[in-house]
Amino acid sequence: MSEHSSANSNNEKGQTKYGLMDFLALAKYEVMSMLIRFAKRVLGREKKVEFEIKSRYSVMQAKSTVVGEGLAFINGEISWFYTAFERGDHDPLTNYALEYIERNMPKSSRILVTGCGTGITVFHLSDCGFHKVVGRDVLVKCIVIANRLKEKFSYHNTVFEVDDCFNPKTVDGKFQVILAIHWVFSAWMGNYGNEKVDESRDPAVREKLLNELFAVYAPYLEKNGIMIIELTDAVADYRIVTDIPLALRSLDVYSVRHTPEQVEKCAAANGLEIVEKKLCVSYGHQPRTSYILRKS
């Protein structure tokens, strides 16, 4: 599944046109997924659902919006944005972040979701009853899809805008919660049109990048507000190729990685303290740690 870069053939209005082969590829994907789910059920291998991402739309309604807006394929492959609506409880760190917010933050909280994609986590938080949830993403198509879902399913307390979340121009006011999950480590690698970081194994480069990001967002946090950030863990530096499905290639994937000590140091330099953290080795190419940081 492809997560990155831009889509395929456009018509004269700039809209992506899908042909018969594209629809056949989607149909094949859906049939295969259905067969796998069926086989798991028959063999008693179904996983107990631990966490539900809330939404007022069905997976199929969301996917057809993604198809309609031309984001179902990226570089000829079915995109992450199409399949992401099946995420369910598969990513322990998404569950961790969303559950932490729901359990610990007042419903009156104003929430900023950076790198929000098509709005999945924004809609979840809105459905949890948070009063104001705003999403920003650098990809225009993501924001168009998020706004379509917002209008169609009456998510009136959400706001979506296109922005570069490394250098936001549209964010104003203060927030009780700022979420930066599942994008920063990938963006640093040069995906989604971002500039690729050089010398990404240098600890000084890693610290500089994190300090810059915290310096952007700490001023937007209310006192005692929290920022949740997901980072590739520097434990990935110690992997050996036989650990990893894609072997050597994977050693360079998401190569901006941080140790907990670095995160603590950068957080402190920006008036933030680590409240909690969780390391996860599933769902994704590398081990990742999510940090809950509080503004003192």
Ligand X SMILES: C[S@@+](CC[C@H](N)C(=O)[O-])C[C@H]1O[C@@H](n2cnc3c(N)ncnc32)[C@H](O)[C@@H]1O
3 binds ligand X (CB under 6 A): yes
139 binds ligand X (CB under 6 A): yes
Nearest distance from C-beta of residue 139 to ligand X, angstroms:
4
Q: By C-beta, is 146 or 266 nearer to ligand X?
A: 146
**Choice from 16, 147, 176, 194 touching ligand X (CB under 6 A):** 194
Nearest distance from C-beta of residue 91 to ligand X, angstroms:
8
Stretch that binds ligand X, among 11-19, 187-195, 219-227, 270-278 (CB under 6 A): 187-195
183 binds ligand X (CB under 6 A): yes
**Choice from 89, 164, 207, 276 touching ligand X (CB under 6 A):** 164
Give the binding-site size for ligand X (rule: CB under 6 A). 22
22 binds ligand X (CB under 6 A): no
117 binds ligand X (CB under 6 A): yes
The answer to whether residues 122 and 135 touch, using CB atoms and an 8 Å cutoff, is yes
120 binds ligand X (CB under 6 A): yes
**Choice from 70, 115, 225, 287 touching ligand X (CB under 6 A):** 115
User: Per-residue x/- mask for ligand X, residues 61 to 80, rule CB under 6 A?
Assistant: -------------------x
**Choice from 166, 205, 207, 268 touching ligand X (CB under 6 A):** 166
Q: Which residues bind ligand X (CB under 6 A)?
A: 3, 80, 84, 115-117, 120-121, 136-139, 142, 164-166, 181-183, 187, 192, 194
